[in-house]
């Protein structure tokens, strides 16, 4: 198993639209394992392949308190949305230390495949629904801060720039 490098915003590679997974082979299962290990180590509750510079439609999620309920979604599609849209606080391993509210569907039905290529459907609400929508945005090249106002986005970019310069000086 291996820890993968997580791309940091702003990085143009975070805007690449991922292509469908077509081969359900050992390479894919190794990628799933490495992504899960990277997510748990971060720590985070989700990770999209885009964030580790692999532009294929694959996400891993574990929103359990016990970190033992890994969910893998390959070629995920939202096939139904219901309930009110709600603002929930989000974070992102590609945008460290930024937590902002984003409006999302409160209840979704997802169709996806598992690591063996078997198709399944799942209804999700709460944190799982938020996380699936956030990770699926990554597969479409969208980072959650892009839902925020231009002013907030520019403040975030300024803050990230200052942090990077400080890290560079201290390196």
Please report, for residues 1, 60, 80, 151, the alpha-carbon distance to residue 12 in angstroms, rounded to integers and kept in the order given: 27, 22, 30, 20
Q: Rounded distance, CA 2 to CA 26, Å?
A: 15
Q: Decide if 135 is catalytic.
A: yes
Contact 56, 18 (CB under 8 A): yes
Q: Choose the catalytic residue: 77, 85, 135, 146.
A: 135
Q: Rounded distance, CA 70 to CA 57, Å?
A: 17
Q: Is 94 in the site for ligand K1U (CB under 6 A)?
A: yes
Q: Which stretch binds ligand K1U (CB under 6 A): 14-22, 26-34, 37-45, 79-87?
A: 37-45
Q: Which stretch binds Zn ion (CB under 5 A): 18-26, 59-67, 91-99, 123-131?
A: 91-99
Q: Is 43 in the site for ligand K1U (CB under 6 A)?
A: yes
Q: Is 131 in the site for ligand K1U (CB under 6 A)?
A: yes
Q: How many CB atoms lie within 10 A of CB 95?
A: 19
Q: Is 46 in the site for ligand K1U (CB under 6 A)?
A: yes
Residues that bind Zn ion in the complex, under the rule CB under 5 A: 92
């Amino acid at each position: 198993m291996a820890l993968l490098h997580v791309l940091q915003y702003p990085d143009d590679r975070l805007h690449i639209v991922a292509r469908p997974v077509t081969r359900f082979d050992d390479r894919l299962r190794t990628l799933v394992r490495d992504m899960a290990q990277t997510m748990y180590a971060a720590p985070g509750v989700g990770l999209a392949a885009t964030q580790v510079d692999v532009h294929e439609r694959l996400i891993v999620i574990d929103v359990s308190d016990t970190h033992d309920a890994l969910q893998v979604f390959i070629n995920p599609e939202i096939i139904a949305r219901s309930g009110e849209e709600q603002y929930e606080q989000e974070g992102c391993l590609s945008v460290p230390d930024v937590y902002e509210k984003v409006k999302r569907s409160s209840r979704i039905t997802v169709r996806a495949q598992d690591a063996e290529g078997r198709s399944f459907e799942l209804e999700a609400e709460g944190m799982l629904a938020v996380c699936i929508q956030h990770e699926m945005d990554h597969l479409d090249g969208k980072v959650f801060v892009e839902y925020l106002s231009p002013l907030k986005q520019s403040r975030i970019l300024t803050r990230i720039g200052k942090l990077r310069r400080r890290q560079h000086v201290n390196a």
